A and B are shown apart, each in its own frame.
Chain A
Amino acid sequence: MKLSSSETGLPAMKQDEHLYKKLLGSLPDSILLLDDKNVIHYANKLAEDLLSKPGKSLLGENFGIPFVEGEWADVEYLTSRGLLIGEMRASNLDIDGLHYTLVSLRDITERQQLRDKYKSVLMSTITTLSKTLEVRDPYTVGHESRVADLSVKIAEKLGKDDFFIQGIYISALLHDIGKISVPVDILTKPGHIVDEERNLIKTHARVGYEILSNIEFPWPVANVAHQHHERLDGSGYPLGLKGGQIILEAQIVAVADVAEAVMNDRPYRKGQGMDKALEIIAIESGSKLNAEACAACIELFSKEGYSFRAY
């Protein structure tokens, strides 16, 4: 609402300037107006309070070129209150034929800290769930963690982004969670497994899906548990999915799962070593397993010195 000049006693133009300064000053964001050389031409009160050096105005300081590719850029800014986490936005303005950039910095420190806390709680919960299996079946100690680590490395080699990699890490940590429903004496049985027992073990993919589909992850975690034994030629289980019907995350975890399972000891056999594992992966590459993921896995072990960690 614009006040009339009779109410403020100020001439109209002065009154506008007064109003705008007051408005900008009351904003919860730090606002800066940069000229075409990126020199600070205007700073609202919050920006001055937070960013200026003691006893020195921001006006005339060179801010630099603000570079924002999406809607905002995640930044930290050095302030009189310490280091704040912020979102920086920048937009171009043309005023009376002159070019300016309007920069806003929003303090999201508290929000970010809360987000980090939730993330840490989520990761602890997932790790605990994953470890629960190991208590029941000592032969799988570290299996989930090793598969998760290798899956991440494969995904990185395939050029996947951070979000995908975070999802594949969590999915791989939980891919065998359905084994919780398989009796311990079958999971740890040395020697030959009969068909009935094998069929019971195979239910872990479906059970894992049922458990995990109750959680609203931003990644297809439940589907990875469901599909990590599916094979490109349709020979896998539980659904006999083929090719592109199997999500990429599950295809990557399948490669890591095979590598880990062949290399390490199982109740019914000793670990068969890296050469055997890579030989199987090379044979199944493209027919049963994702060829790019297989190539990445082979390169990691044979050329880049990757090895599974002991847990």
Chain B
Amino acid sequence: MKQVSITIFISQMNEKNERAITELRNQLNEHFSDNYQLEVVNVLQMPEKALEQGIFVTPTLVRNIPEPVLKVLGDLSNMRAALTKIDLIGLGDDEVVII
């Protein structure tokens, strides 16, 4: 099993979301090498997934593993800061917080 499993929920693939996803991949590569799983879900194409995970707003980033499941939503332009909100990256340094 991967060390980290992340899902990003979006409603369209526009420039803003493309950048967020690229930055998310960069951050995950930097901190977890290939030991992560990333899923991109377009809520308009897969509404059942959004319903299942209680997604109200896009973009939303969901940390599935490690548990507990945590969600951050809204401004994902600063992906590093967003990942600190769901405790995947330590604040102010490059230490990885593994729960």
A9 contact set on B, CB distance < 8 A:
none
Judge whether B86 and A61 touch: CB under 8 Å.
no
Question: With A78-B47, A78-B50 as given contacts, are A63 and B56 in contact (CB-CB < 8 Å)?
Answer: yes
A298 beta carbon closer than 8 Å to chain B:
no
Considering the chains assembled together, what is the distance between the CA atoms of A74 and B76 in angstroms? Answer: 10
Judge whether A105 and B73 touch: CB under 8 Å.
no
B62 contact set on A, CB distance < 8 A:
64
Question: With A75-B59, A76-B11 as given contacts, are A64 and B73 in contact (CB-CB < 8 Å)?
Answer: yes
Considering the chains assembled together, what is the distance between the CA atoms of A4 and B43 in angstroms? Answer: 49
B57 beta carbon closer than 8 Å to chain A:
yes
Interface string of B55-77 (1 = CB under 8 A from A): 11111101000000011111111
A67 contact set on B, CB distance < 8 A:
72-76, 81-82, 85
Closest partner residue, chain B, to A162 (CB atom): B15
Considering the chains assembled together, what is the distance between the CA atoms of A134 and B38 in angstroms? Answer: 47
**Main SS at interface, chain A:** strand
Cβ distance B46 to chain A, nearest Cβ, rounded Å: 12
Question: With A75-B59, A76-B57, A78-B47 as given contacts, are A65 and B15 in contact (CB-CB < 8 Å)?
Answer: no
Judge whether B43 and A78 touch: CB under 8 Å.
yes
Give the number of chain B interface residues (Cβ < 8 Å): 30
B44 beta carbon closer than 8 Å to chain A:
yes
Judge whether B71 and A65 touch: CB under 8 Å.
yes
B1 beta carbon closer than 8 Å to chain A:
no
Cβ distance A48 to chain B, nearest Cβ, rounded Å: 12
Give the number of chain A interface residues (Cβ < 8 Å): 25
Closest partner residue, chain A, to B72 (CB atom): A65
B78 beta carbon closer than 8 Å to chain A:
yes
Considering the chains assembled together, what is the distance between the CA atoms of A77 and B74 in angstroms? Answer: 10
Judge whether B51 and A53 touch: CB under 8 Å.
yes
Judge whether A75 and B43 touch: CB under 8 Å.
no
Contacts A/B (CB < 8 Å), 12 sampled: A53-B51, A63-B56, A64-B72, A65-B86, A67-B73, A67-B76, A67-B85, A69-B81, A75-B59, A75-B74, A78-B11, A90-B74
